[in-house]
């Protein structure tokens, strides 16, 4: 299950209450500091790895640095609660950011949380813990009566022990998500929304996906063409094309209505075989390359959906193509060319959105 953002209805989580964050957000910088202030928060407790910076790294992104500076300017107290065993790195980070760290029993022990509360003279309800791990950051905060904001972990490798925690986290959150309400009060979405709009067209994700999709489509078209031609003309068995051979075999099993020639059957069979293989190519490449699905689960279902979309696309292509062929005035050859282009264009758009929003839709 992929990460989901929103606010948790913590009172509905029963025995899992200690593991339940108050909110889930995509990253630290999505958290609105104005909103934290309006919630009466004064002390921000921060996890380091995969919350502020990637594991083992010290190269903070400008956005993170900006967010921390803004928090300081707004008068928030900040501190770092980290379970890292690399104390030299932690000391460097503390120095770079100008934020105090605490040493004590590891999270989820309430120890470091209580040290920080005492030090800053803050009540638990005036503090907020921001971290990427349910089993340490969130659990420790809840045990201390502090609201936790769970951030999606950054991309990159993790400590082996963390990976075990992630397995438990997955199980726990799969249940907690039932109490998730999608609201964006905690999210400073103005920034990211503006950023997305500011991006040049070609850098937007959907545009890049569509270009990749067209590229995959060209490969699939070539595969379809090569297989079709091989079956119809190029590959011969005893002087007869493979397609004709297959048509003869089919005709020996099924009665082909009179008036339909064997070479029409051969063309039909070749088209079915070729489009089936080409669609499978589309499925594989679009899955791995265009939509970047790495999760191995659901591949079978996704393949079935891709075929469903493709065959509807085929129908759209022929119906729209035929319609325009009859509507367009002028030379029939020109009409056919334009009608084919319009039909193929409509089918391409259909296939793209069918795959993107249906077959490969993130859950």
Terminal Cα-to-Cα distance of the chain (whole angstroms)? 7
> Closest distance between Mg ion and the C-beta of residue 55, in Å?
8
Centre a 10 Å sphere on the Cβ of residue 113 and count the other Cβ atoms it contains. Answer: 26
Q: Cβ(228)–Cβ(274) under 8 Å?
A: yes
49 near Mg ion, judged by CB under 5 A = yes
Centre a 10 Å sphere on the Cβ of residue 10 and count the other Cβ atoms it contains. Answer: 18
Q: What residues between 130 and 149 interact with Mg ion by CB under 5 A?
A: 132
CB nearer to Mg ion: give 81 or 269.
81
4 to 43: interface string for Mg ion, x by CB under 5 A: ----------------------------------------
Q: Cβ(55)–Cβ(156) under 8 Å?
A: yes
Q: Which of 175, 180, 217 is nearest to 352 (CA)?
A: 217
Residues in the interface with Mg ion (CB under 5 A) total 4
Q: Which helix (H) or strand (E) holds 73?
A: helix 62-73
Residue showing the smallest CB distance to Mg ion in the complex: 49
CA atoms of 130 and 135, how far apart (whole Å):
13
47 near Mg ion, judged by CB under 5 A = yes
Where does this chain touch Mg ion (CB under 5 A) — which range of 91-99, 125-133, 174-182, 240-248?
Answer: 125-133
> Closest distance between Mg ion and the C-beta of residue 166, in Å?
11
> Closest distance between Mg ion and the C-beta of residue 3, in Å?
14
CB nearer to Mg ion: give 107 or 305.
107
> Closest distance between Mg ion and the C-beta of residue 134, in Å?
11
Q: Could you tell me the CA-to-CA distances from 252 to 210, 241, 246 in Å, in that order?
A: 44, 17, 10
Q: What residues between 298 and 357 interact with Mg ion by CB under 5 A?
A: none
Q: Strand 127-131 vs strand 147-151: parallel, antiparallel, or unpaired?
A: parallel
CB nearer to Mg ion: give 30 or 132.
132
Query: Footprint of Mg ion on this chain (CB under 5 A)?
Result: 47, 49-50, 132
């Amino acid at each position: 299950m992929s990460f989901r953002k929103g606010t948790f209805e913590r009172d509905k989580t029963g025995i899992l209450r200690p593991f339940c964050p108050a909110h889930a957000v995509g990253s630290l910088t999505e958290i609105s500091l104005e909103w934290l202030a309006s919630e009466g928060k004064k002390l921000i407790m921060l996890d380091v790895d995969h919350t502020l910076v990637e594991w083992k790294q010290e190269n903070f992104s400008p956005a993170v640095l900006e967010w921390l500076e803004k928090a300081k300017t707004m008068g928030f107290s900040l501190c770092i609660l980290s379970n890292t065993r690399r104390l030299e790195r932690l000391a460097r980070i503390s120095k770079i950011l100008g934020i105090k760290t605490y040493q004590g029993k590891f999270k989820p022990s309430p120890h470091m949380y209580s040290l920080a509360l005492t030090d800053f003279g803050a009540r638990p309800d005036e503090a907020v813990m921001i971290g990427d791990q349910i089993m340490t950051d969130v659990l420790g905060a809840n045990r201390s009566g502090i609201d936790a904001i769970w951030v999606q972990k950054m991309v990159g490798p993790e400590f082996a022990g963390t990976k075990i925690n992630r397995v438990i986290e997955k199980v726990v959150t799969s249940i907690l998500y039932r109490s998730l309400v999608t609201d964006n009060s905690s999210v400073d979405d103005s920034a990211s929304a503006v950023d997305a709009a500011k991006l040049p067209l070609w850098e937007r994700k959907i545009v890049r996906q569509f270009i990749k999709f067209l590229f995959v489509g060209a490969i699939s078209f070539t595969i379809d063409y090569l297989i079709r031609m091989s079956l119809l003309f190029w590959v011969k068995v005893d002087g007869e094309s493979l397609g004709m051979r297959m048509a003869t075999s089919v005709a020996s099993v099924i009665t082909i209505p009179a008036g339909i020639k064997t070479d029409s059957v051969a063309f039909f069979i070749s088209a079915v075989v070729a489009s089936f293989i080409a669609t499978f190519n589309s499925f594989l490449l679009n899955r791995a390359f265009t939509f970047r699905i790495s999760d191995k689960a659901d591949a079978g279902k996704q393949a079935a959906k891709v075929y469903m979309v493709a065959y509807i696309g085929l129908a759209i292509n022929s119906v729209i193509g035929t319609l325009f062929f009859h509507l367009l005035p002028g030379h029939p050859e020109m009409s056919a060319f334009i009608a084919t282009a319009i039909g193929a264009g409509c089918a391409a758009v259909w296939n793209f959105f069918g795959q993107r929003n249906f077959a490969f839709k993130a859950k």
